[in-house]
Structure 1
Amino acid sequence: MLRCSDNLPTTLYTAEQVRALDACVIEQHGVPGIQLMLKASRALLSTLEIQWPDCRELQVFCGKGNNAGDAYLLAALAIERDYKVQLWQVGDAPQRGDALSARERAIAAGVSVKAWQGEQPTKGVIVDGLLGTGLQGEVRPRFADAIGAINRSGLPVLAVDVPSGLCSDSGQILGDAVHASVTVCFIGLKRGLFTGAAADCVGHLYFSDLEAPSAAYQNQVPAARHLRLDDCLSALPARARSAHKGHFGHVLIVGGDHGMGGAIMLAAAAAARCGAGLISCATRGEHTTALLANRPEVMVHAVEAPAQLEPLLARASVVVIGPGLGQNDWGRMLLTRTLTFKKPIVLDADALNLLGPKPTLARNAPTVITPHPGEAGRLLDVASTTVQRDRFAAAQDLHLQTGATVLLKGAGTVIADSQGIAVCNYGNPGMASGGMGDVLSGVIGALLAQQLSPGEATCLAACAHGAAADLAAQNGERGLLASDVIDHLRNVLNP
């Protein structure tokens, strides 16, 4: 069955796992590899007809791997359907196996095959069958040239299984990568299609399991799971008709050093809109008037020294610390005291920066940390570019190092905890503006206060935050504000 982005499976795999699935289907379940390629080619043709019903011309780029085999057979099917097809061979043609058989079938069907000599495609839909999941290291120059020609063409592009040059495990671009309009993935969804640079390369994603027997999947533990808002919402219990504010927790938000009161205002407003029973803010005295005027539902306390934090901690069920906290002595003292809090805490922004490199959080209470790639790099004592090269590994390393539930921000938010790795794809580029992280920390705090586990709260918060931003972006991504997202949170959490 062919599935599109709206109803994809939630299980994600590494390339090695998908190769094992493929081998299992062939060797243990007796499905010939060429039959899997034929099924893949039919799924590709169906996708072409769905996405571009008026298209009658294809420019098919092939390497020599199995995804090239899928593309050869697509070319043969397209010829039978009266498409005009030009197949460009980049580098060596396949010399053995199913890919060679597929190439021979394409030639026998009348497909025109030419060695690519730098021609620039100008018409039709491009099919990218150049490089697959077996790519190791950076794309070689000949293939990089072909990828460049595809990207410069301005034509729609259908990628076979994975856009050429994109690492299917990490979402990293390996030197150069095709920017596809549509990608059709086979057998198992590759986790690298959901984070990092994949957002720029994958386009609209389709999936076909090629009718692989369900038994083939039983011995493969998914490498990650793809989050769906509806699934995450199931963690929120229905409210009893007799409920009162004491049932939904008391969130204390600590931050807002001199000149940074807006951050704590945003976090408090988000927590209020996400259902926390009570919200208090511990901040510099200069911000109290503005906070009360902006959000009168919130209790605001001027705190200049850790001793003034004590009675607030005694009443809180969750602490969010970091929005506008700063990195001076005031913030450091408040963080030191908060880390001894015996209940859940959320560490964001400057709270993470104050921890320093390679911190060990010796806490017995639940902890959530929400770094962006730069903060994650400082915590791991590596460059942010290293974090971005493998966001799954970075999030997992942070979890193992700190023991916290980790939410690594960015395109394809990655969440790591003791239950494994999850990835969230809600959200849009309009979120690249100040205050979005403050809103997210407030959402997590409110959900923790309502008795969700750290993993449940963090996964739901990532989805709700992104989904609210997607609703806000219906009026345009450019100029999207963090406060615009807050306005939609209530609707997202009350479907």
Structure 2
Amino acid sequence: MIFLPDGRQMKTADSYTIREKKIPSLILMERAARAFVDTVTERGYDLSRVCVVCGSGNNGGDGFAIARLLLEKGAEVTAVMAGNPDHCTEETLRQIGLFREAGGTVCNSFEEGEYSILIDAVFGAGLSRRVEGSYLACIEAMNRSGGVKLAVDVPSGVSTSSGEVATSAFKADLTVSFQCAKLGCMLDPGRAYAGEVKVADIGVDTDGLEGDRDVAYALEEQDVRAMLPGRRADSHKGDYGRALIIAGSRGMAGAAYLSALAAYRTGAGLVQIYTPEENRTILQTLLPEAIVRCYDFFDERELLRLLEWADVVSIGSGLGTSDKSRRILQTTLENVQVPCVVDADGLNLLAEHSRYLSRLPHENFVFTPHMGEMSRITKKPVEELRKSRLEELMQFTGSHRITCVLKDARTCIGKQGEHPFVNLSGNAAMAKAGSGDVLAGVITGLIAQGMDCFDGAVLGVYLHGLAGDAARRGKGGYSVLARELADAVGAVLKRLEE
């Protein structure tokens, strides 16, 4: 597990390290500068014309320290003070002095041009306002200039908490982040400005981040093996759960098929599909392993019997928004006593009938909206949600006491009392019809095997992304189909198991 703090949370960790671990701020600054310069030299970048643009805060102090170390390596270095010299921190003033003692000269303005390396150390994680005026002009001139562009900790202009770029931001090829990658560099559009992100350990104590439930985190592949449900040698299908998938409508048999296939691929012991009669032949042909239970009209008694049978329920994929579908959803939401995943049309119906949200019988629900569906449920514009996605996500899950998987290019998961999760696996090849149906099935399959809703959602989203990465390696960025994602889940699990 890796933490993804924002600027405020990282500053708290820095302060703790300085105060309790007795490591002076100047020492941390030197470590950061050395780690940055080590990256520059390891990658063999051209040092013939280096420009380091610095602010007056500690990010600027890092920049002047970097400029000095590069100067000592024989680089031709121009250092620019882009901030207000009267507002320099004590550490930055000290680094300016050391740079000058090493023979460096500080310029007062940035000159647009061609550089071998252009290093941004203007704001970093310390940005707390819109970039305007001379700062904006400087950053835009830096973006127009030539050379390899490197950012110190965070590209100037990127919000560390949301990834938002209010006006403009430095467009880096590589960002060297200290101790932790910052949240804003992982979220869009910030990650496009950060480029490749390399994390350098400089000795900041981050143990306190675990106790701060506002700090986001991500999984690494080594975490997954420990999370996977076990499979005993003396087990049988009943040990791995009975999943009921209420999905599909006329012309939408594929949604039911993809969800059920993914649940099986993920390890569910028994999958039963509840779907309109028109889908029976298709589903029995495509997935003979599944039980297919069909309906022509709304049959409350039959539905209640199926809910009683299940260990986990998934509802909504391709369900449609007819009155029949609405009654099926309402009955399910009000009577289900096991974990329940609500996807796609289940969420669209919820948006039209928000009173159902207040009738949920327990907290073991997983909602899986994409941004458009989340917008319809919350009545907030997509753009507003994107600007503060984690804040909106945690507010929504806190109000309704559920787990919510907010799907986007960077999917985020929230639940009251848990660290927000940000998924770093997956790619644009997954942007295809049916991908969400597969995800709903993967999460359902994991919960069927005994995982709780939040952990099942986190692992499901991460595995889904790994499957997308595997499928892209086989099919390329354009040709991946949703059923190939479901199959790739099996391949990924095999690799992790071995």
For normalisation by structure 1, the TM-score amounts to: 0.91
> Which residue number corresponds to residue 104 of structure 2?
111
Give per-residue Cα distances to partners, 1:118-143, cap 9 Å, x unaligned.
x4332312211111223223211332
**Aligned partners of 1:65 and 1:132 also within 8 Å:** no
Aligned equivalents of 2:326, 2:378: Cα separation in 1: 20
User: How many Å separate the matches in 2 of 1:184 and 1:79?
Assistant: 19
| 1:297 Cα deviation after fit | 1.6
CA-CA distance at 1:56 after TM superposition: 4.3
Amino acid at match of 1:66: N
Shift of 1:222: 6.4
Once residues 164 and 346 of structure 2 are traced to their aligned partners in structure 1, the CA distance between those partners, rounded to angstroms, is: 29
Q: Which residue of 1 aligns with 2:345?
A: 350
Q: Once structures 1 and 2 are overlaid, which stretch shifts more, 361-370 or 380-389?
A: 361-370
Post-superposition offset of 1:260: 2.2
1:320 aligns to 2:314 (yes or no): yes
Cα drift, residue 102 of structure 1: 1.3
1:245 aligns with 2:237: yes
User: Which ranges in structure 1 are unaligned for 5 or more consecutive residues?
Assistant: 1-8
Deviation per residue, 1:25-77 (Å, 9 max, x gap) = 33444333222211111011011123345554422222222111101110110
Q: SS of the counterpart of 2:436?
A: helix
CA–CA distance in 2 between the matches of 1:292 and 1:55?
A: 65
Q: Is the alpha carbon distance of 1:56 and 1:250 closer, same or farther for their aligned partners in structure 2, counting shifts above 3 Å? A: farther
CA offsets, 1:445-494, max 9 Å, x none? 00011111112211110110001101111242223322221121012223
Cα pair 2:2 2:218 within 8 Å, conserved: yes
Deviation at 1:163, TM superposition (A): 1.3
Distance change in 2, residues 1:124/1:279 (3 Å): same
Aligned residues: 486
The aligned residue for residue 450 of structure 1 is 449
SS at match of 1:283: strand
- Contact conserved, 1:376 with 1:394, CA < 8 A, in 2? no
1:21–1:187: 8 Å Cα contact kept in structure 2? no
| 1:63 and 2:55 are equivalent in the alignment | yes
1:225 maps onto 2:223 in alignment: no
Secondary structure of the 1:110 match is coil
Judging changes above 3 Å, is the alpha-carbon distance between structure 1 residues 178 and 476 closer, same or farther for their aligned structure 2 residues? Answer: farther
Give the structure 2 partner of residue 279 of structure 1: 271
The aligned counterpart of 1:490 is 490
Counterpart residue identity of residue 319, structure 1: V
- Residue number among 363, 367, 371 corresponding to 2:365 in the alignment: 367
1:40-439 alignment to 2 at 5 Å?
A: 40-93=32-85, 94-116=87-109, 119-153=111-145, 155-212=147-204, 223-307=215-299, 308-339=302-333, 340-356=335-351, 359-364=357-362, 366-417=364-415, 418-439=417-438
Per-residue deviation at 1:335? 0.5
Q: For the residues of structure 2 that align with 1:95 and 1:237, how far apart are their CA atoms?
A: 53
Deviates more, 1:283-292 or 1:394-403: 283-292
Moved more, 461-470 or 247-256: 247-256
Distance 1:104 1:232 in 2: 48
Residue 16 of structure 2 corresponds to which residue in structure 1?
24
Q: 1:95 to 1:343 in 2, by over 3 A?
A: closer
Q: Which amino acid aligns with 1:191?
A: L
Aligned match of 2:25 = 33
One-letter amino acid matched to 1:380? T
Given the superposition, is the C-alpha separation of residues 113 and 318 from structure 1 closer, same or farther in structure 2, using an over 3 Å criterion?
Answer: same
SS of equivalent residue, structure 1 residue 286: helix
How far did residue 323 of structure 1 move?
Answer: 0.8
The amino acid across from 1:343 in the alignment is V
1:155 Cα deviation from its structure 2 partner: 3.6
Consecutive unaligned residues of structure 2, counting only runs of 5 or more, are none
Alpha-carbon displacement from aligned partner over 1:13-32 (angstroms, at most 9, x marks no partner): 33222222222333444333
Moved over 6 A (4+): 214-219
1:273 is displaced (CA, Å) by 1.0
Whether the 8 Å contact between 1:250 and 1:276 is mirrored in structure 2 is: yes
Between stretches 455-464 and 303-312, larger displacement belongs to 303-312
Give the direction of change, closer, same or farther, for the CA distance of 1:214–1:292 in structure 2 (3 Å limit): closer
Asked whether the equivalents of residues 209 and 215 of structure 2 are also in contact (C-alpha less than 8 Å), the reply is no
SS of the equivalent of 1:124 reads: strand
In the aligned structure 1, how far is the partner of 2:207 from the partner of 2:291?
A: 56
Task: Output the amino acid matched with 1:40.
Answer: A
Task: Please give the secondary structure, in 2, of the residue aligned with 1:179.
Answer: coil
AA aligned opposite 2:432: S
The alpha-carbon distance between structure 1 residues 426 and 241, as it changes in their structure 2 partners (threshold 3 A), is: same
* CA deviation after TM superposition for structure 1 residue 251, in Å: 1.3
More helix by share: 2
Quickly say closer, same or farther: Cα 1:332–1:214, change in 2 above 3 A: closer
Report sequence identity in percent.
33
**Cα distance per residue 1:405-435 (max 9 Å; x no partner):** 1111123321112333222110112222221
CA distance in 2, matches of 1:219, 1:279: 39
3-state DSSP class of the match of 2:169?
Answer: coil
| Cα distance, 1:342–1:28 mapped onto 2, change above 3 Å | closer
Query: In the aligned structure 1, how far is the partner of 2:79 from the partner of 2:398?
Result: 48
Residue 213 of structure 1: CA displacement? 5.1
Match of 1:4 in 2: none
Amino acid at match of 1:109: A
Question: 1:102 & 1:314 partners in 2: Cα distance?
Answer: 69
Is the Cα–Cα contact under 8 Å of residues 214 and 419 in structure 2 kept in the other structure?
A: no
1:441 — aligned with what?
A: 440
Are residues 177 and 214 of structure 1, via their aligned partners in 2, closer, same or farther at CA, if it must alter by over 3 Å?
closer
1:91 Cα deviation from its structure 2 partner? 4.2
